[in-house]
Amino acid sequence: MADLELLKKLCLLPGISGREEAVREAILEEIRPYVSSVTVSPLGNLIVEKKGAAPAKIKLMLCAHMDEVGFIVTHITSEGLLQFDKVGGILDSVICGRAVTVWGKNGPLEGVIGCVPLHLGKVGDKPLPADELYIDIGAADQEEARKYVSPGDSVTFDSIWDTEGGTIKSKALDDRAGCVMMVDLLKQDLPFDMTFAFTVQEETGLIGGKTAAQAVLPQAAIVLESTTAADVPGVSEGRQMCRVGKGPVVSFMDRRTIYCREYYETAFALAEKLGIPCQTKEGVAGGNDAGAVAPAGTGVRTIAVSLPCRYLHSAFSLIAQEDFENAEKLVKALAEQIAGSDPAQGI
């Protein structure tokens, strides 16, 4: 069973790109008794070796990123308001009016992202870009605000944790859910040696995935992710990409990677054998750490297994608990089959 308590803990921790320390420490606390070796890279990747019952025939790396999208303080105005920029891809339409936490020098501060009041705007106005918004922490002026906040401080969405109706709703499910799946696997006995990379700075350029792959030089990789489910009103069936509740998602291609066709087909065969649903990502969009892992060394055969997730990169994303459980089962079976395959004969 997937560890929902750990997922809650990780999702509610702060960890924008480049500020993943709290998430990494929480993961380390969970996995230390179960692993053979732990390395923290100069940029903050957590690379873990897990000994199995036998050496792997194919060197396999499983990968999930620890960082989340958010904001960073860039300037404090004379009125004590905080100007900011985005960290990662966030639509302007999901920003204004959101409650946020500013991680200042003396601890967290609650704030709200403000803009020109509705009554002073015009009907049909488009959402204001981030550089025309501000964060209000209630400071009287710049002098007061500087007691608590400095440029460079990170800002995260305030969120909830809710598991009603068989779903999970929270911030940062992308990709704390993938991290929890890897932690769950690390706590189990494995038939083969495997490497697990908890990476940094995926949302700002796949930096951690690139450096992890260069350090490990795997022959094969499974990237665990959350991906856009657009199964909502107003989106035609052909543009929905994937659907919540219909099982883990396997991609054939995105904007950064053409995935291993053999692994793609194997994933569906294993899902059928396990009696769990599995779906194709029906479109070529987005990207993930696979885009940096696949080109490493002489090339890494790569597959991405993702959770269908609504409202990605916002304060409140949503996945299905059943998809979470089934993705973990599929990843375990896929990892064992890849690691135990004869390189001369393929998977």
Taken as a whole, the chain contains a residue count of: 347
Q: Which pLDDT score, from 0 to 100, does residue 335 have?
A: 98
- Tell me whether strands 70-76 and 154-157 are parallel, antiparallel or unpaired: antiparallel
SS3 of 119-157: HHCCCCCCCCCHHHCEEECCCCCHHHHHCCCCCCCEEEE
Residues of the chain falling short of pLDDT 70: 116-125, 344-347
Q: What is the pLDDT of residues 297-327, one digit of tens each?
A: 999 999 999 999 999 999 999 999 999 999 9
- Hey, what amino acid is at 204? T
Fold of the domain built from segment(s) 70-157: Elongation Factor Tu (Ef-tu); domain 3 (2.40.30)
- Contact, 210 vs 257, CB < 8 A? no
Q: Which pLDDT score, from 0 to 100, does residue 320 have?
A: 97
**Cis before 175? omega within 30:** yes
What are the structural domain ranges in the chain?
4-68+171-339, 70-157
By C-alpha distance, which of 322, 327, 328 is closest to 185? 328
Q: Which pLDDT score, from 0 to 100, does residue 134 have?
A: 96
Given the candidates 3.40.50.620, 3.10.20.30, 3.40.630.10, 3.30.470.10, the CATH classification of the domain at 4-68+171-339 is 3.40.630.10
Determine whether 325 is an active site residue.
Answer: no
The dihedrals phi and psi of 16, each to the nearest 5 degrees, come to -65, 165
Same CATH topology for 4-68+171-339 and 70-157: the answer is no
Q: Which pLDDT score, from 0 to 100, does residue 117 have?
A: 65
- Token duo for residue 243: 């659907």
Q: Which pLDDT score, from 0 to 100, does residue 342 have?
A: 75
- Contact, 53 vs 189, CB < 8 A? yes
Q: Which pLDDT score, from 0 to 100, does residue 126 have?
A: 73
Could you tell me the CA-to-CA distances from 188 to 46, 63, 199 in Å, in that order? Answer: 19, 17, 21
Given the structure tokens 């993705």, which residue do they identify?
327
Q: What is the pLDDT of residues 212-260, one digit of tens each?
A: 999 999 999 999 999 999 888 888 877 878 899 999 999 999 999 999 9
Could you tell me the CA-to-CA distances from 9 to 14, 111, 272, 274, 311 in Å, in that order? Answer: 10, 22, 32, 29, 20
Catalytic residue among 20, 30, 68, 202: 202
pTM of the model: 0.94
Using CA atoms, how far apart are residues 188 and 50, in angstroms rounded to an integer? 10
- Tell me whether strands 220-228 and 301-309 are parallel, antiparallel or unpaired: parallel
